[in-house]
Chain A
Amino acid sequence: MHISEGILSGPVLISGIALAAAGTAIGLKKLDYERIPRAAILSASFFVASLIHVPIGPSSVHLILNGIVGLILGWGAFPVILVALMLQAMLFQFGGITTLGVNTVIMALPAVFCYYLFGRLVSKRPRIALPAAFACGAFSVFFGAVMVGLALMFTEENFLKAAYLVVITYLPVMIIEGIITAFCVAFLKKVQPDMLPE
């Protein structure tokens, strides 16, 4: 889901940077110091997640994990994902430096959105919480794919064709991430329930 350099037009890149800056500012404000260690661990997990490859047909996709990041951190997902993406761009050349803003928005905005959609459900009893967690993980990837289509809309083919292709390709990842998020939530409910949103 990382967009490489030289594909998007200038205005898209600049609006990406602006949106990412705004999101990161909000995220840093809401990220109190007590939550920094878990933010660091989630950032490291997100950083490594892109190396977990899911072979799918002609293309290749990777895990994203923005679902669990959004669920635990809320708006804090923005600075966390920005840091991880910057390190991926510098060390692995995944994505790019100019596309840092756009890539951050693509992955962090769905995380925050799903946090608001499913956050409240996750603290309920397991029968509701686990499907909600699955949905959170799956829809974070889904909305991320939609945003990739949006970003590419101004460059490549029309939005529906680009978005459809990305969503179909990431369908297995959606399911895997939903399962992973559900497992994480189940585990956290037992060990440290105050990590999950109220």
Chain B
Amino acid sequence: MSATRLTRYGMCCSKGFGFMLFMMACVVWTDPAMAHRSTIFAWVEGDRVFTESKFSGGKRVREGDVIVYDSEGHQLLKGKTDDKGEFSFEVPAKTSLKIVLMAGMGHGGEWTIPVSELEGVAGAQVEITPSQNTARKMTEKQRDVSHLSSNEIRLTVEEAVDKKLKPVMKILVELRENRPTFRDIFGGIGYILGLMGVAAYVNYRHKSAEIDGKETD
């Protein structure tokens, strides 16, 4: 390559890198609520399951569809998140619950609550199928509150623990957010430049093999 072509190529490369640096500067100086992944987080408190849906970076998912399935994939209930991205519902059945969020335009997320987390749900202690759901609701209402059985004590303790855990859950929701770190960005760019290096090396081998072939003629 002639000297002028080399300098032009070098200029172009440096300007290309300048462009990239400009892009990364934009990343730093814009609103850090960059979002392109939606996540849903769910926990059990007493009889209810609370969910919070967010885009990665903190923005709440408003009017997103939340669908709850049981362990066999049957749909148990459906709802919409409110303005704060929250949606709560009563535990419909004592099976593992798969909670799916559809935030629209192709965004989605899911969270599974295992059966073990539903142990404290008031009412039956035996695992029941969704078809017995209505029967269980009736026995709950007929429960006599004045008895202080060990079951009652256990439930009271669970309620108190749930109340204490509520702020902890909120903290966990905040902590879970993993917006792209600089490490990830540099890693990705590194991979791309590495691929470019591999391609350039293959090209070099190809070209030098060609040149060797011509010289031996």
Contacts and interface: CB of A to CB of B under 8 A. Distances in A.
Given A47-B188, A84-B192, A91-B188, A152 B37 contact: no
B175 interface: no
Contacts of A148: 105-106
Interface in A147-198: 148, 151-152, 156, 162, 165-166, 169, 191-192, 195
A24 interface: no
B8 A60 contact: no
Interface stretch (A13-21, A33-41, A116-124, A131-139): A33-41
* A interface residue count range (under 10 / 10 to 19 / 20 to 34 / 35 or more): 35 or more
B99 to A, nearest CB: 12
A55 B57 CA distance: 12
A3 B103 CA distance: 11
Contacts of A91: 180, 184-185, 187-188
Nearest to B33: A53
B108 A40 contact: no
A7 B101 CA distance: 10
Interface string B31-57: 101111110000000000000000111
A5 B59 contact: no
Interface in A43-93: 43-45, 47-53, 55, 58-60, 62, 83-84, 87-88, 91-93
A4 interface: yes
Interface in B172-217: 180, 184-185, 187-189, 191-193, 195-196, 199-200, 203, 206
Contact of A51 (B8, B34, B199): B34
Contacts of B62: 58
A38 B33 contact: no
Contacts of B100: 6
B168 interface: no
B36 A2 contact: yes
Interface stretch (B18-26, B71-79, B117-125, B133-141): B18-26
B63 interface: yes
Given A33-B200, A48-B23, A88-B188, 15 more contacts: A4-B106, A7-B106, A33-B203, A37-B13, A40-B196, A43-B192, A51-B185, A53-B33, A83-B191, A91-B188, A92-B36, A92-B56, A148-B105, A148-B106, A165-B104
Interface of A: 1-7, 33, 36-41, 43-45, 47-53, 55, 58-60, 62, 83-84, 87-88, 91-95, 148, 151-152, 156, 162, 165-166, 169, 191-192, 195
Interface of B: 8, 11-13, 15-17, 19-20, 23-24, 26-27, 30-31, 33-38, 55-57, 59, 62-63, 100, 102-110, 180, 184-185, 187-189, 191-193, 195-196, 199-200, 203, 206
